[in-house]
Chains A and B, each alone.
Chain A
Amino acid sequence: MTTAMNIIQGHSPALIVVTFLLFSYLMPVLDSWKKNWCATLAIAAHVLALFFTGILAWQVFTTGTVTYHMGNWPPPWGIEFVIDYLAIFMLTTITVVSLLILIFATKDLGHELKAQVSSWYYTLYLLLVGAMIGLAITNDFFNMFVFMEIAAISACGIIAIKEDKECVEASFKYLILSAVGTGCVLLSVAMLYMVTGHLNFTFAAEALVPALELYPNNILVALALFSAGFIVKAALFPLHVWLPDAHSSAPSPSSAILSGLVIKIYAYAYLKLLLKVFPGDIFSMVPIYDMILILASLSIFFGSLFAIVQEDIKRMLAFSSIAQIGYVFLGIGLANQAGLTGGILHIFNHALMKAMLFLSAGAIIYCTGIRNIDQLKGIGAKMPLVMGVFAVGAMSMVGIPTTNGFISKLYLALGTLDAGKPFYLGVILVSSFLNVIYYFPIVINAFFGEPGEEPENDIPVKKLPLEMSIPLVILAAGILFFGIFPRHMLILVERAVAIF
């Protein structure tokens, strides 16, 4: 018994990834044998992962950063996993939000997918979550590349699995653009390996300081390629073209995990590289932070503008994601204590909000089949719970106090003032107004709008199953809880930021 505990304690960084990979490959086997076990086992994988995350969090809080050497090969040679406060933050966000989305998916998938592919969906879903967790804790360039490719293929898979016209086209577009992204990342890994001879982040960072004197061009090109690659993957403004189609046509649980977590993990990986790997001197050679700030502002502004004119609710939410990823990058670009706190906290907050909004859109589609925003008039009376949580999410998107969106925007605003860049405070304010323009009419129309006389308003409303309403309520409660008591998450984020 004690040996089992020792194995779990000593190997939990690897076990957390292995759990997801193992369970994901169990699904196709179970598919032909015990089909109805798949959903339960997928949830069990998440619960196990939560358990390992808990152990890791406990270890990090008591003894500091945990490192794990794959196959007991010490780092410069072997692959190293490093779990610090930032990684704990990311692990918690990923496991909790994806567990809630999965619970919702168990009912919603039967409605959106053909019966024979529903267990394959769990394979792809668990692979995606496992790859994201790997990305969050890896400390090795090539390992990062492999996890990025796993995440890309499985993300394309959970878009295309519906096999209708829009999904396949959106998935192909995403696949091609993410291949551009990973191609750029691998090339820049090669450039850094050329001058440092290391693939480990820590060792590469040490070797890059003298290398910057000798081969500045090489490292600058590597930085540019990294930025391009991660910006494509995270869908920042000029390179966002794949996102609206992909996130709006996919099944609702896929949209929720793609918008809520997948684009954020690349922002997080980019942040880690900028702050941990690249030497500080490089930022005086090229104004990379200013470029990020400009792209982030454009992303915030245009994402919101495009969202206003959309008619399809999921498409609107997808454009809103482009605006919201802009906030995360704004935090990275400000690169001071308050700004980074706001940006990183927004990863968690936006994961809660956007997952909830996509799931409630999914619930509306499940119950009524309506996707068009104009037809949502008066739906609040028929589906008070779903529209109620939607209203909470909308308020959080705008950043009304007592919701968690307010906290991260507050820290970002403080960050702009600390950095002496009040222009970006204006960007945050304008974007909040734009958010009001496209979120509030939906909520107001749903509750107070008079339903028209069109025949489609008489369609019967299906009852929402318990499995679908519980995640919505938990996510909405989370939004309010972390809005009123932000202290718990802030402690974690502030410790994460303190290491930079």
Chain B
Amino acid sequence: MTDIALKLFDNMYYLVSMVLFIIGFHTMLTHSNLIKKVIGMNVMDTAVFLFFVSTGYVAGGVAPIIEPGVEQTYINPLPTALILTGIVVAVSVTAFALALIVKLYHHYGTIDAEEIMRIRSTE
């Protein structure tokens, strides 16, 4: 039992990112409020980013800025660089989603997905 707990503690970043992923996924698919859906999407994306960045982490490592004559462990900078792109992508998707929500509010007068479904079915 303590064995498993210790292993989970060692891989805490992975554990936390999985929990976050599930929270985001759940929020995104079950909440009917469109803003909450977008927030869920962001939580999910953040979880993936955390997971990706932590794959490059080396315990005790520092940022790979090489100083001559100093022996150090460096972290893997590649995932960090990739996730920078990932964050930009997530921001633009969020912006676009929010713009669509503004349009939806203009058309339907609500940001509740179930309400919108009800309005559409009565039309």
B36-55 CB mask vs A (1 if < 8 Å, else 0) is 01000100110010011001
Residues of the A chain whose Cβ atoms lie less than 8 Å from the Cβ of B101: 172
Most buried by A among B82, B100, B103: B100
Query: Quick check: A169 and B52 within 8 Å, CB to CB?
Result: no
Within 8 A of B (CB), among A375-421: none
Number of chain A residues whose Cβ lies closer than 8 Å to a Cβ of chain B: 29
Within 8 A of B (CB), among A134-186: 142, 145-146, 149, 152-153, 156-157, 160, 163-166, 168-169, 171-172, 175-176, 179-180, 183, 186
Number of chain B residues whose Cβ lies closer than 8 Å to a Cβ of chain A: 31
Is B104 close to A, CB under 8 A? yes
Nearest residue, chain A, Cβ from B89: A149
A157 to chain B minimum Cβ distance, whole angstroms, is 8
Residues of the B chain whose Cβ atoms lie less than 8 Å from the Cβ of A164: 107
Question: Which among A142, A172, A189, A190 is the interface contact of B100 at CB below 8 angstroms?
Answer: A172
Is A273 close to B, CB under 8 A? no
Query: Quick check: A142 and B93 within 8 Å, CB to CB?
Result: no
Query: Quick check: A169 and B89 within 8 Å, CB to CB?
Result: no
Is A18 close to B, CB under 8 A? no
Residues of the A chain whose Cβ atoms lie less than 8 Å from the Cβ of B108: 165
A contact residues vs B (CB 8 Å cutoff): 142, 145-146, 149, 152-153, 156-157, 160, 163-166, 168-169, 171-172, 175-176, 179-180, 183, 186-187, 189-190, 193-194, 199
| Count, A-B residue pairs, CB within 8 A | 79
Nearest residue, chain B, Cβ from A188: B48
Query: Quick check: A175 and B28 within 8 Å, CB to CB?
Result: no
With A168-B103, A176-B37 known as contacts, the answer to whether A190 contacts B96 (CB < 8 A) is no
Query: Quick check: B48 and A187 within 8 Å, CB to CB?
Result: yes
**Bound-complex Cα distance A166 to B103 (A):** 11
Nearest residue, chain B, Cβ from A163: B103
**Bound-complex Cα distance A175 to B94 (A):** 10
With A186-B86, A187-B21 known as contacts, the answer to whether A176 contacts B97 (CB < 8 A) is yes
**Bound-complex Cα distance A324 to B85 (A):** 35
**Bound-complex Cα distance A186 to B48 (A):** 7
